[in-house]
Amino acid sequence: MNTPRLEELTQKYVLGNISKAESDELASYLSRDEAKAARDHFRLSLKTDAYLQEAAAEMDEQPGAVASSKIKLRERSLWAFGGIAAAIAVGLITWIQPPAPTGVATVYRTEGQAQSTAGQRLVTGDFLQKNDRLTVTEGLVELVFADTGVHAVASAPLSMTLHSSGRVFLHGGDLKLSVPPQGIGFIVETEEREITDLGTSFVVTAGKEGSRVLVLDGLVSIGQKDNASQQFMVEGEAATFGEDGEIELLKKKVSKMPELSQLEGSAKGYTELTSHLYAFTHSEPPPAHAKQDLIGQRFLPLARSGFLDNSSLQGLRTESAPPLTCIAGAYNDFGEKAGLDPGTVARSGWMTWYRGNLQPPEPGRYRFVGYADNHLLASINGELVFEGGRYDSAFRESAIVERDNFPAWPCLNSRAGFAAGPWFEVGTDPIKFDLLFGEKQGNLTFALLLIEREGETYEETTWGQPKWPLFLTRVPNTPQREELENLQGFLDEKLLGGFSVNEKAVWQIVP
C-alpha cells in the first residue's frame, strides 16, 4: 500500500466516513509486522485530529471568534502538520498542556480498602508516584493520570503497578479506562500482552488463567511482549489471552445488543402517547458532509419553542411510530420497519416525537439519565430537562440543555458514558411530556432512558454505578420482563453496567 492510500484511509477513519471495506483494508495493513511506521503515523494522525478539534471547541468559547476560523479548523487537512505548529505558535492549543504533575496519578474517589506500596490507605486527593503498586482489597478506586488525563476505575480485588502517567502493569483484577485525546497511546500491560489505546474506552481483566480486553468505544492495538506483531480491535470486540499469550478474538459482541420485540405494537386497553415518525422525502438533498445532522437541525426550533411551534417540520414525511413503553437496547432497521425508504434513512435518518400527559409515580425531584446514538431529548411541561445524544447530534452541538457526563460508567457504546440532565420537580398533578428519539443516519440505533429520584438508594454495579430504574410508561407484563431481563444480563456481562426495572419508575399515561 502506498503512502497516499494510507493517508486517504486514515483521513476517512478520523472524519468518520470510512466504509466497512476500507476499514478492513486499513486494519489489514496496520496489522502487518513491517507496518510500524504506518501505525505510528496513524496514532499521530488521531492525536493531531483530537488537538485540532479541541482547539476549535476552545475558539467557540472565546469572544470575537469568527465562524470562518472555526470552519477552517473543522475542514482541516490532517496532513498539514506545518499548520499545527502555527496553531501552537499563536496559542490556539497551548491550553492543553497541564501543569507540572505532583505524581503519576491522583486518587479521584475511593470506596472500601485501597493502598499504595508503602501500605498507606488511600483517600481522595492522594497522589501515586512512579512505580507505586496499587492494591484494592475491597470496593473500588478511581484515578486520574497526570499529563495524559486518562480516567481509570479499578475494582477489588486488584493489584497494579503504575510505571508512568502513560503506562501501567495490571497484575490482577478489573480495570476500566476512558482515554481523552491527549492520552492516546496509553498502555496497559499484562503478563500475556500489551494493550495500547488509540483513542477509546476499554476494560482489561487480568488473572491467573490469562487476561481479557473489551473495547467499549474506538480502537486499541494488542501487541506481543516482544513487539513482534500487533492486532487491532475495534468498538464492540472482546478478546481473551491464555497463559501462553494466544489470542482468541470474540467479534462484535456489543453490536448484538438485544432488541425488545415484545415491547413493539399497541397494547389493548391502554392509553397511548401521541406518536409520529418523521423523515425526509426522496427529493431532500443529501447532507453536505458525513457528520451533518439534517434531521436534528429541523427539530431544533420545535424543541426551543417548548414543543409549541412545529412549523419547522413542514415538508417532512410522517408515519405512525410504535407506542412508547420504554427506550432501551438496540433499534436496528427502526425506520425501515416503520415503512421508510432504506436509502432515505441511510442518508438522513429519522426522528420520533412522542407527546402526551403522564402521571408521576410520586411527588419529588427527578432527573433523566441515559444515552442514545444519535438523538434523545426530553421535555417536562415545555421545559427541556434532558439531552442524551451522541457527540454529533444537533441537540448536543447546540448545548440545548444542561448536561453532565459520567465517562467512568460504561453505557451501550458511548465513550462519554451516561449523561444526566438537570433536576426537575413534580407534584401530584399530571405533567405534559415530550420526547424526541431518532437516528442521524443509517440503521443501527442504541438508546437507554432511565429516571432517578432524588434521595433514593439504588443497587450498584461493580464500578459503583447506580442501577437507575428504566423509565417506563406502564408496568411490564411477563414477556416484556423476560426481554428486559435478557437486556439487563447482556449489559451486566458485556459492558459491566446496567439498569433496574422498578414499578416506582412507571409514569402512567393519562388522558
Q: What is the pLDDT at residue 48?
A: 55
In a domain, 264, yes or no: no
Q: What is the mean pLDDT of residues 277-293?
A: 73
In a domain, 260, yes or no: no
What is the per-residue pLDDT across 175-232, written as a single tens digit (0 to 9) for each?
888 887 778 889 999 887 888 888 777 888 888 777 888 887 777 888 776 555 567 7
At residue 296, does pLDDT exceed 90? Answer: yes
Residue 419 main-chain phi, psi, to 5 deg: -105, 145
Give CA–CA dist 401/422, Å, rounded: 8
- For the chain, give the number of residues: 511
pLDDT band at 321 (very low <50, low <70, confident <90, very high): confident
Number of Cβ within 10 Å of residue 341's Cβ equals: 15
Q: Which helix H or strand E contains 383, and what residues bound it?
A: strand 383-387
**290 plus 235 within the same structural domain:** no
Residue 422 main-chain phi, psi, to 5 deg: -70, 155
* Residue that finishes a domain, picked among 208, 228, 254: 254
User: In CATH, what number is assigned to the domain containing residue 192?
Assistant: 2.60.120.1440
What is the per-residue pLDDT across 103-118, written as a single tens digit (0 to 9) for each?
899 998 888 888 888 7
Give CA–CA dist 467/465, Å, rounded: 6
Amino acid at 64: G
Amino acid at 91: G
Q: What is the pLDDT at residue 244?
A: 61
* Residue that finishes a domain, picked among 225, 254, 283: 254
**458 plus 379 within the same structural domain:** yes
**173 plus 305 within the same structural domain:** no
Stronger pLDDT, 4 or 456, i.e. the higher one: 456
At residue 415, does pLDDT exceed 80? Answer: no
Residue 335 main-chain phi, psi, to 5 deg: -65, -45
Q: What is the pLDDT at residue 375?
A: 93
As given in the structure block, the three cell numbers for residue 486 are 435478557
In a domain, 262, yes or no: no
In a domain, 330, yes or no: yes
**114 plus 92 within the same structural domain:** no
Q: What is the mean pLDDT of residues 333-357?
A: 85
In a domain, 281, yes or no: yes
User: In CATH, what number is assigned to the domain containing residue 430?
Assistant: 2.60.120.380
For the CA atoms of the chain, what is the radius of gyration?
24
| Complete DSSP assignment for 169-189 | EEEEEEEEEE--GGGTT-EEE
**84 plus 152 within the same structural domain:** no
**199 plus 90 within the same structural domain:** no
Burial class (CB in 10 A: 0-12, 13-18, 19+), 396: buried
**89 plus 172 within the same structural domain:** no
Point out the least confidently predicted range of 20-34, 345-359, 387-401, 417-431: 20-34
Stronger pLDDT, 148 or 326, i.e. the higher one: 326
What is the per-residue pLDDT across 41-77, written as a single tens digit (0 to 9) for each?
665 565 555 445 444 443 443 333 333 322 232 233 3
**308 plus 419 within the same structural domain:** yes
- Using alpha carbons, select from 375, 386, 511, 399 the residue that is nearest to residue 451: 386
This prediction's pTM: 0.61
As given in the structure block, the three cell numbers for residue 2 are 502506498
Number of Cβ within 10 Å of residue 240's Cβ equals: 17
* Residue that finishes a domain, picked among 254, 282, 307: 254
For CA atoms 474, 367, 142, 252, give the dihedral sign: positive
**277 plus 413 within the same structural domain:** yes
In a domain, 449, yes or no: yes
Give CA–CA dist 410/253, Å, rounded: 14
In a domain, 295, yes or no: yes
**333 plus 217 within the same structural domain:** no
Pairing of strands 167-178, 201-207: antiparallel
Query: Do 207 and 172 touch, CB atoms closer than 8 A?
Result: yes
Domain span holding position 18: 3-96
Pairing of strands 167-178, 187-189: parallel
**409 plus 279 within the same structural domain:** yes
Query: Do 149 and 186 touch, CB atoms closer than 8 A?
Result: no
Please tell me the total count of domains within the chain. 3
Q: What is the pLDDT at residue 434?
A: 97
Q: What is the mean pLDDT of residues 390-417?
A: 77
pLDDT band at 452 (very low <50, low <70, confident <90, very high): very high
The secondary structure of residue 57, as a DSSP letter, is H
**Burial per residue of 133-167, b for 16 or more beta-carbon CB atoms within 10 angstroms, e otherwise:** ebbbeeebbbbbbbbbbbbbbbbbebbbbbebbbb
**495 plus 394 within the same structural domain:** yes
In a domain, 261, yes or no: no
Q: How far is CA 153 from the centre of its chain?
A: 16
Burial class (CB in 10 A: 0-12, 13-18, 19+), 317: middle
What angle do helix axes 36-60 and 3-15 make, rounded to 10 degrees?
40
pLDDT band at 93 (very low <50, low <70, confident <90, very high): very low
